[in-house]
Structures are given as structure tokens and as C-alpha cells.
Homo-oligomer: A and B are copies of this chain.
Amino acid sequence: MAQRTPSQHARSTRGAGLGTEPSSAVWDVVARVDTGELATAAALLHNLHPADQADALAALDGRERRRLLDRIDSHTLAELLPFLTPEELEHVAPDVALPQLTAALDETPAQLGADVLHAIPLTDAELVLDRLPKAGLVEPLLQHDDDSAGGIMAPELMVLGPHLAAEQALTVLRAAAPAPTVRDTVYIVDTEGVLLGSIGLHSLVFAPPMTALRDLMEPIGPTVTTDMDQEDALKILQRFGLHALPVLDDDGRLVGVTTSDDLLDIAQQEATEDMYRLVGLVDDQALTTPVTTALRRRLPWLLLNLATAFAAAAVVAAFESTLARVAALAIFLPIIAGQGGNAGMQVTTLAVRAMALGEFDRHFTRLVLPRETIIGIVSGIAFGLLVGVVGWVWQDNPWLGVAVGAAMLGTMVVAGLFGLLIPIILRGLGADPALAASIFVTTATDMLGFLFFLGLAALLIQRIA
């Protein structure tokens, strides 16, 4: 996501009505376009905050959107582009005429330009780049991985040499009239472009006018390289409480910054990924994903789930003769499976989240494993007694109560252990610890839970039947 300049907010004369939801005027615009009143729609759109303008464009269908886009100027387009989500950008960008898009991108930060060019066909992107005055800033961004610090960095910075005096520095910056992404920091580099330090604009303004920048500058703090994973860049930014993190090339030259604004989006993406992976939603998807894509992405993992369900079924099959003698045993299978699966998933969720937030280490495992074992035993005893008594009374058979109660205890302990071990094992194998963890955890609890219960019932069959 790109940075937004303050002028973009100038159109809304009061803060009133700028809330968490799109204003109702957005739906007016959409309705006017639908009824063909394009001039009215364009006039209404023009009075909206760019965030609302972006919502209106995103809410339209392709054909209607293209009609409305014909009526708006490239400056308006440049102002609203930063407010489209990455997914909305993928839908909207291909609908914009190339000359209009080129003019708009000359006004937007290079980082957003790169996002837009990623969203349109390659041949179109090349046509835009050929005509874009600031192509020199945008092109390097396209060469880095989407998920790397180099792919998300902003190259527009205030950069000066170390020998200028504070007063001169302000004069130079004023003459350059830059629109930097980080507006409160001036970066100091040597003649090769190698980062030497930085000065807060605040310090620069309030420093004695003749002080040289090299005497004002603060030493380099944490930095990242262009190829670093964005998730690691996020962790460093958070760990050191920074607003912006300089991105260096392999020779230590400053090529951009990644800011906490970008990383908010990334933090939410990463959280989304973890939640999805826990239930076997592995590739990029949302409720809006087209049906065929959604099927292609969900079916393989549901197939894995089915395969593991057959493993649990095989355990039940091994005890078919026991079940044939006491059909009521089948009643308790969903109880064992449901309770074990939920308890296991609770622990897995806690473990996956702790790993994602960098709060899980070996030290920690030594503490947590015994703790989850105790929790499993205590809750196993509580629910074992409860289920045992209910089983006894319901089926009027104390020995069935013993079998289901003891199996419940065993299942709860196993749930805690596997809930913790499965993310650890997945991570140890180099996979994402959340990867389809629910499938593996519930398979383990189902299989062992059924084994405990039907195994005990088989041993006690003379007394239960």
C-alpha cells in the first residue's frame, strides 16, 4: 500500500461523517451509474473523500466502472488509487484507459505505481512504463519479490550529504520540494549513496543553523536488505518500535524505506494466512474468490482431510465385532471425537499464534508441555467423570460409563500433547506451523480417542454387553 499526501484530505471540509463505513453518498453514485446518469454520478463522485471515491469504483461492475472512469480526470484518479485494497486494485486497474493511467501514476508514489503495474497485463505495463516520466523510480521496485522488503519499499526519500550545514540543508530541501514517503526524517549518505545516518526533520529545524549534518545525525539503527522477507522486516520494525526502516542494497546503498503503514497491512495479511491455514485454506483466497478457483484451492485439502478421516474410520472398523455386540457404543464416538478435537485445536491455535508473534521458543516449550499435560489431565478427569456418569445413567451400564470416562481422560491428555506437538513438528519440517494443523490434530485425537474407547469397551465387553 502506498503513502497518502495530506492534500488528499482537503476536499472533506469537516471530519464529521468520516467513519468506519463508506458514506451513503457512495451508494448514490453507484445507483446513478446503474441508471445511466453518468454526468450526475461524476459530479457526485467529485465531492466525495478519495476513500469514498475508491469504494464507489470498487463497488461497480466492469462495464459500468469503465463508463464512470471515462468521466474522471487523472488527478482525481491519482488521489483515489491509494485507497483501493490490493484486491480491489486488481479489478479496477485493468479497466482504466492506458493514457489516463499513465498520467495518474506520474502523480502517485512509485510504490503504488508498482502495485498498479503488477495488476495489469504485462504488455500494458510495458506501454505505461515507456511513457511514464518517473519510470526510473518504479522499475527497480518491479525487480524485487512481491513479498520482500525491496518489493514493498518506497524509494522517495529526503537524502543529503554529511557536509551540509543545517540551514543549507533546509534550503536544499525547500528548493527540491520533495514529496517524500517519510516526511519526518532526512537520510544522510556518502557520495556512493551508502547510508551514514539520519536526522529527524524536527531536529534539523530546531538545530543551530550552522551545525554540519554529520554532527547532528544519529547513527544507523536497524536496517534491512532488499531481499529480506517482508514478515521479518515487520518483526524488526515492531521489535525496535520504528516508524520507518531503511532498505539497503547489497553494497549498503540506501534504496528505499519500508514503513509501519505498509506493515500494518502485512500484519493483517499474515494473521489472515495463519487463520486460513489452520483449517486447510492454504492458497490465497476469500469469500469473493470465483467458484472454480475456490474449488481448485479447497478440494485438495478436503481430500487430505477425507484421507485422514478414513484413518479414524479404520480404527472404528477394527472394532466392528465389538460394535455389533453393543450398538450403543457408536453413540459415544461423536462425543469423544468432538471433545478431543476442540481441546486439541485450542492448544494448536495458541501455539501457532505464539510462533507468529515471535513468542515461542525452546525455552518456552519446556515450560508449556508439562503445563498442557496438567491441563489435559485435570480437564480429562473433570469431563471423564461427567461423561462416565452420563454414560452409565443413560445406558444403565456402569462399565460402559467406565470405558467412556477413561477414554475421555486419555483423549484430553492426548489432545493437549498433539495440539502442541503438531505445530512444532510442522515447523521442524520447514513447513508453516499452521499448515492444515486442524486436519492433523483432529485425526490424532479421533484415532487415539476411538482406540482408547473401543479398546476398553472390547476388554470389558462381557460386562457391557
Contacts and interface: CB of A to CB of B under 8 A. Distances in A.
Interface of A: 1, 3-4, 6-7, 9-10, 12-15, 18-21, 49, 51, 59, 82-83, 85, 170, 173-174, 177, 183-184, 198, 200-203, 205-206, 218-223, 232, 235-236, 238-243, 246, 260-261, 263-265, 267-268, 271-272, 274-276, 278-281, 285-288, 291, 294-295, 298-299, 302-303, 305-306, 308-310, 312-313, 316-317, 320-321, 323-324, 327-335, 337-339, 341-343, 345-347, 349-354, 357-360, 363-364, 367-368, 371-372, 374-375, 378-379, 382-383, 386-387, 390, 438-439, 442-443, 446, 450
B334 A241 contact: no
Nearest to A88: B359
Nearest to A27: B363
Contacts of A220: 14-15
A347 B285 CA distance: 11
A260 B203 CA distance: 22
A251 B375 CA distance: 51
A351 B313 contact: no
B357 A268 contact: yes
Contact of A335 (B170, B309, B334): B309
Given A222-B15, A232-B20, A446-B338, A375 B295 contact: yes
B218 A279 contact: no
A126 B299 CA distance: 60
Nearest to A87: B359
Contact of A15 (B7, B223, B334, B343): B223
A279 B310 contact: no
Given A59-B363, A313-B335, 13 more contacts: A6-B198, A14-B219, A20-B232, A201-B205, A275-B275, A280-B346, A281-B349, A302-B339, A303-B383, A305-B339, A316-B334, A338-B443, A341-B341
A79 B272 CA distance: 33
B276 A350 contact: yes
Contact of A206 (B12, B173, B351): B173
A10 B353 contact: no
Contacts of A288: 359, 364, 367-368
Contacts of A438: 342, 345
A351 B279 CA distance: 13
A349 to B, nearest CB: 5
10 contacts: A9-B240, A49-B240, A183-B201, A260-B260, A276-B350, A288-B367, A291-B375, A320-B328, A320-B331, A345-B438
A305 B342 contact: yes
A287 B360 contact: yes
A394 to B, nearest CB: 8
Nearest to A173: B206
Given A271-B268, A349-B279, A287 B18 contact: no
Determine which residue in A85, A287, A335, A343 has the highest number of CB atoms from chain B within 10 A of its CB, and name it: A287
Nearest to A347: B287
B305 A331 contact: no
Contacts of A13: 219
A375 B82 contact: no
A267 B264 CA distance: 8
A276 B353 contact: yes
Contacts of A354: 286-287
